[in-house]
Structure 1
Amino acid sequence: MAEWLVNLQVEQLPEGCYLATCASIPGLVAQGRTLTETLEIARDVARELHEARLERGEREAPPALAQSFELPVVLSA
């Protein structure tokens, strides 16, 4: 199974839930009650969108998973 890295844009909505989108995967929109739930949903949606593209005969492969990458982490005191 191939793995690839995508950058999700995640924001907390005024209602308290989270919304994730991805500029490199058109149609990827995920919303959840917690950040963890939102990320899990986004991962599932990304897989489903990729599988749908393959079924339509689109063979453009996603970029390979990088050996290292930057991950911003927010710390609070």
Structure 2
Amino acid sequence: MERMINLHIEKLPEGFYLATSDDLPGLVAQGRTIQETLEIARDVGKKLLEAREERAGAPILPVIADKFDYPLVISG
């Protein structure tokens, strides 16, 4: 089952990237690259969702629909 959350990603002064989410409180991920940060955020988010849904007894985020918008970043 796939779910979608919004991430806020910022580059830290030390050169690392930090990802957090208002959609999934407690999600904090840090990596050397954006890709690494996204992979860590995906793993952390999955574990947080599993734990919260276990406690709640039901899904806490809606399932992704068959159609959705996705922001694509293209470097020039």
> Above 0.5 in TM-score?
yes
**Mapping of residues 1-77 of structure 1, within 5 Å:** 2-56=1-55, 58-61=56-59, 62-77=61-76
Name the SS of the counterpart of 1:44 in structure 2: helix
Aligned mates of 2:11, 2:72 — CA distance in 1: 15
| Identity value in percent | 56
CA RMSD in angstroms comes to: 1.6
Please say if residues 13 and 19 of structure 1, whose CA atoms lie closer than 8 Å, have aligned partners that are also in contact.
yes
**Residue aligned with 2:37, SS:** helix
**Worse overlay, 60-69 or 13-22:** 60-69
Pairwise CA distance, 1:67: 2.8
1:55–1:72 distance in 2 versus 1, CA, 3 Å: closer
* Structure 1 outlier segments of 4+, above 2 Å: 66-77
Q: Deviations over 1:52-73 (max 9, x none)?
A: 11332x1342111133333334
In structure 1, stretches of 5+ residues that fail to align are none
SS in 1 for 2:66: coil
| Aligned residue-pair number | 75
